[in-house]
Structure 1
């Protein structure tokens, strides 16, 4: 019997007879039995798993992104532990591309040292060095990384007079049955010139000659050559077209991340982004003939990944030490014993002359910014608080709720600057705002819908 529908013709069979139905049922049962009894296919483990980070910039905790907070040393460790449990027979290696340091300073140094201790705990095999790592100078960098149990490499950080590298340009890692030659490079910055402790200066040399020299020592010894590149991806592609021995480039420079590896000749290039939001992973398989195949992955370190408890405790302790140091710095008196003329006074000081404006502000989202943060899960993190209070990180500005309750929320001085000098000299120009005033907090990541020119009239007065 044929059933016809517009544009479609099919056959409908009459009901099955008893014997035919039994035969069909028997076939189905046999197929089910075979499916159950068949041995499941065993997942092939990689011979080597390379994990890599880069551009962490001192972010030991998750980023301050309001919509999709990512990163954090604890979750990174949790993910690595999960993979190691999944493939207990695979060798794993952890590398860092460079630019892992926080800003130089009392608070930033505490976080950099905490990050280095976390990298020790995870078993990093080495880290390359980037420009940000050297922002405080060479002696400062040596101090904040003194506890590192892994080598630091860079092929193109050289003495200005002799062009001899200051750090090992490359190293040969033995990982299971594989030998990996690893070279580190940073961006060539002609303006970078660092004073050396014993006299002279350090500079960055052009990358390709430095890479070629480093490869000379690795040729014939490595099963695989990996380049750690703290430089723009476009610069890397120029290098790999000349340095054909490089098969794998692990990079980080700013927020750029490559969800899929960029293939350029023999090289597979994977960029991981910044602030520790992602983790790079390359699964490597070796055939019976010795050939290598690669499976590059970019892993988002998000809230679904359970954190490693030990690392999470290290993060909590490090951030607590950093907050204590910041509090001590911000509450320290001026050497003269006075608070200075740049002190923050709070919105209450503005009300005497601008009562209507302050009254309107008091019920605004800016005024209630800290309260809104308290309602968010894990909202009161240091990375988030800065944009929800007034004068964070500034002498005379926000310290904590107990010390500076009058600076809670985004007050007048968050946009217009410290008010003490204005109160003392109201006739002087004060309070002009511009695009950078707002975009320090209203970034693409934190507030993707923000438009300075469209949103400014909403708070104009």
Structure 2
């Protein structure tokens, strides 16, 4: 675990009232989580993060971290979809257990209807901050800290922390704040010195917890800064209270798939691998030697076979007319089949002279994202699944 020690230059942070200083504090921070409750499990390289591990780490290290405050710098909620709303409730319920002292709601977050968001905030008593809503005073040890998402809410004589979604290039120019935490989604490995303090950035999708250690002398000067990232690894323990919240979330999400079953049609444009194999048996046989046929089985093993965000990339035609809905309704379209790459086969069957869609990189990138498939290389991966050259030209 790397620890960055920034000998900060006796920052000119003289505060009006020096009483209560001569203290140390840790600021634990997240931001730009973008609705990520836990890693999806697609790639062994991207298994870090998750609210269960975050909560367990903070809970089990309170004594070592104290005095500390826990902050989310914003843009952490999911998008406004049926599944996204379940995620938002699960995240704010989890934040309550973790014990956040301040949670910024910025542009991504406030796009949600107040009629939906406010009851969840009230239920959890979430200490929310808005870009135009002043600040809140948080105490940690001897320090009283003004935490705000409002650039105009800096408090004279206080230790001031700003939560912002401004990109780093603009955040560097902000003055008067001892600590600035961004949620722009940009990576900043080490703290940067600003005109009046320190700049850090929340690690995207919550894969790491930022820990910013400050020492403040009796004159109110920040004399040094220590910073480290706590990676939330697969081998870390989980908070079972948060895990119960995620189990409730999974059950609600499974209900979305159940609702979709009613939309399944028997004569849709997707035909399934067996229909393709009637004319293209050699291609189908080669397909069965690749990892694509077992894509849905992999989901079942990971316990994500009823999560729409996962199902869409492990089946054929999910959420499209006549495509996969569930194993109960459309078992013949499970796995990544011919039509997932080449498009629906109905029209090809009606007119055999009409060619199927060629495999293009953009089709693959819809699922082989940097998070899900960090080693993806179109040419190399295409070679693994390509069957025409192997069968016709061998």
Q: Which residue of 86, 102, 110 corresponds with 1:110?
A: 86
Deviation at 1:374, TM superposition (A): 5.9
1:57 corresponds in structure 2 to: 34
SS of equivalent to 1:214: coil
> Any idea what the Cα deviations from partners look like across 1:189-240, whole Å, max 9, x if unmatched?
xxxxxxxxxxxxxxxxxxxxxx2x322xx223x1x111112232222113x2
2:163 corresponds in structure 1 to: 228
Task: Tell me, yes or no, if the aligned pair for 1:133 and 1:141 is still in contact at 8 Å.
Answer: no
Report 1 or 2 for greater relative contact order, CA contacts < 8 Å, sequence distance ≥ 6: 2
When the two structures are aligned, how many residues end up with a matched partner?
A: 363
Aligned runs of 1:55-454 on 2, under 5 Å? 55-68=32-45, 69-87=47-65, 90-137=66-113, 139-142=115-118, 145=121, 147-155=123-131, 165=132, 168-184=133-149, 211=151, 213-215=152-154, 218-220=155-157, 222=158, 224-238=159-173, 240=174, 243=175, 245-254=176-185, 256-292=186-222, 293-325=224-256, 327-333=257-263, 341=268, 344-371=270-297, 382=307, 386-394=312-320, 396-420=322-346, 422-423=348-349, 430-454=356-380
2:6 corresponds in structure 1 to: none
- Judged with a 3 Å threshold, the aligned counterparts in structure 2 of structure 1 residues 332 and 262 are, in CA distance, closer, same or farther, namely farther
Structure 1 residue runs without a partner (length 5+)? 1-45, 156-164, 186-210
**How many Å separate the matches in 2 of 1:72 and 1:304?**
12
**How many Å separate the matches in 2 of 1:73 and 1:121?**
10
Task: Tell me, yes or no, if the aligned pair for 2:40 and 2:372 is still in contact at 8 Å.
Answer: no
**How many Å separate the matches in 2 of 1:122 and 1:274?**
18
**How many Å separate the matches in 2 of 1:54 and 1:408?**
36
**How many Å separate the matches in 1 of 2:295 and 2:258?**
25
Q: CA RMSD in A?
A: 3.1
TM-score by length of 2: 0.80
> Any idea what the Cα deviations from partners look like across 1:358-390, whole Å, max 9, x if unmatched?
222122222233445666x77869465543333
- Judged with a 3 Å threshold, the aligned counterparts in structure 2 of structure 1 residues 107 and 173 are, in CA distance, closer, same or farther, namely same
Deviates more, 1:76-85 or 1:168-177: 168-177
Deviates more, 1:388-397 or 1:267-276: 388-397
> Any idea what the Cα deviations from partners look like across 1:98-141, whole Å, max 9, x if unmatched?
12222212111111111111111222222112332244555554
Name the larger-Rg structure.
1
